[in-house]
Amino acid sequence: MAIELKIPNVGESISEVQIAEWLKRDGDTVKKDENVAVLDSEKTTLELSAPEDGRLKILHPAGDMVKVGEVVARIETNGDTDKAEEKKAESGKRESEKSGKKPAKRSEPEPEVVSDFGTKRGAPAKAKKAVAAAPVRDNGDAKQPTVVEAEKDADEKAEARERAAAPAPAPAPKPRVSRPGEKVVPMTMLRRTAARRLVEAKQQMAMLTTFNEVDMSVVQGLRKDNQAEFEKRHGVKLGFMSFFVKAVVDALKQFSQLNAEIHGNEIVYHSQFDVGVAIASDRGLVVPVLRDAEKLSFAGIEKAIADFAKRAREGKLKPEELEGGTFTITNGGVFGSLLSTPIINPPQTGILGMHSIQERPIAVNGQVVIRPMMYLALTYDHRLVDGKEAVMFLRRVKEVIETPPRMLIEA
C-alpha cells in the first residue's frame, strides 16, 4: 500500500512552495513522523514529515515549485507497490498494442470566413470555395477590393500601428559566466519574498530615520541583580528585549501614528499592540509577532522570544505567527552592529533598531563618566508620522529604559 505525501496548507495567502531539500534519499526507509523534506514558502520554512513507516518514493526533486495539495512523494508500506503499478502500466500498454487502435485524430476547427457584412461564422466547404472563387468587382479600369480584402487591409494597418506604439521589449539578460571557484545557488522563496518586500518598501514609503542613544546602566544593574532568581523561577534568562518591548508599547500608547498603517486614502489606528521581533535563522530573517504585547509579563515576553528563536532554527514557525504585526523591533547589536537604518516592514509605519552596547565617555552633571551606551534608530513612514512625533517617540523609549520606574508611575 502506498500513502501519498502531499504539500500541506501553510497559510491562507500561500498557494505554492519550493522543495528546498530532501532530508532522505529516494528509496530510503523512513519512520513515522520523521522529517523527510524542507519546504520554503514566501513567509517561512517548514519541514515535511512521514505519515507512516515505509519506503520513500520521491516524485519531485529538490528545487521544484509545487502547489499546495500536490503529491510530492509516496510512502510505500510494502515492497510490492511499485512492481504492481509497473505491471499494470505494462499490461495496459500491451493491450493497446494488441488491439491495434490508433489514437483518434484530433479534429481541426473549421476556419472562419468574413461575410460581406463583417460578421464571422464557420464556413462549410462549399462556402469556402465560393469565397475563393469570388470575382473581383470591375469599376472601369480600376479593380475595387472586396469587403473581405478591405477589412483585412484595415486590420493589418491597425496591427502595424499597435506594433509601432508598443514599447520595445527589454533586452534579455546576458547569461552570467561563472568564474573558477564561484558557487551559484538559487534564492529561496523566503529570500526572494524578503527582497521583493524590501524593494517595495523603499519605493512606496517616505522612510526617514532618527537616532538617539540610551544609557543602559540601570537595565544592566536590574538584570545582574535579578538574573539568578528570574531564571530559577521562570526557566528562561532575563534579556534586554523584554525591557525594550515594554518601553515600545508604552511609547506606542502615547504616539498612535507609529501603531497605525495607511490603507488607500485612510489611516487605520490599531487598538492592539502586536510587536514583531526580528530573528535571524540559517534560512533568512523572520519576524514572528508577540500578540497583545501589552498584556505580557517580562517572563512571558522572554519565553515567547526563546520559543520563536528555537522554532525558527528548526523551521517550525507557523505562517500565521509571522503576520499582522503593528510595529517591529530588530536587534543588530547581537551581531556587533554599532549603528544602522532599519527598513520598515510594510504596512507598518515604524521599526526600532537596537545596537551594540559600548562603554563610552559621556557628560553627566558636568562630569565626564564612562557608561554603557547603546545607539537607537527609529525608521518611520514620513507620510503618516511627522518628525516631531518620531523624535518624541524615541525620547520616550530612552526615558523608560534609563528610568524603568517612570513607566509604572506615569501609566
Q: Which of 134-143, 178-187, 309-318 has the highest mean pLDDT?
A: 309-318
Residues 74 and 194 in one domain: no
Split into its structural domains, the chain has a count of 2
Minimum mean pLDDT range among 158-167, 237-246, 365-374: 158-167
Expressed as residue numbers, the domain containing 394 is: 189-409
- End-of-domain residue from the set 31, 55, 83: 83
- End-of-domain residue from the set 68, 83, 98: 83
Q: Which of 75-89, 163-177, 292-306, 309-323 has the highest mean pLDDT?
A: 292-306
Cell of residue 13, nine digits: 495567502
**Residue-level pLDDT at 122:** 47
- End-of-domain residue from the set 35, 60, 83: 83
Give φ, ψ of 160 to 5 degrees. Answer: -65, -40
Residue 117 lies in a domain: no
Residue 137 lies in a domain: no
Residue 387 lies in a domain: yes
Burial class (CB in 10 A: 0-12, 13-18, 19+), 59: middle
Q: Which of 70-74, 120-124, 143-147, 266-270 has the highest mean pLDDT?
A: 266-270
Q: How many helices (H) and strands (E) does the chain have?
A: 9, 23
Q: What percent of the chain has pLDDT over 70?
A: 75
Minimum mean pLDDT range among 155-164, 253-262, 281-290, 359-368: 155-164
End-to-end CA distance of the chain: 64
The reported pTM is: 0.65
CATH code assigned at 12: 2.40.50.100
Residue 373: which residues within 8 A CB-CB, separation 6 or more? 213, 214, 215, 216, 357, 358, 359, 360, 362
Would you call 123 helix, strand, or coil by DSSP? coil
Average pLDDT score over residue span 118-135:
47
Confidence label for 173 from pLDDT (cuts 50, 70 and 90): low
**Residue-level pLDDT at 400:** 95
CATH code assigned at 270: 3.30.559.10
Residue 183 lies in a domain: no
Average pLDDT score over residue span 90-96:
59
Residues 318 and 199 in one domain: yes
* Catalytically active residues, by annotation: 382, 386
Residue 219 lies in a domain: yes
> d(Cα 232, Cα 228) in Å, to the nearest integer?
6
pLDDT at 147 over 80: no
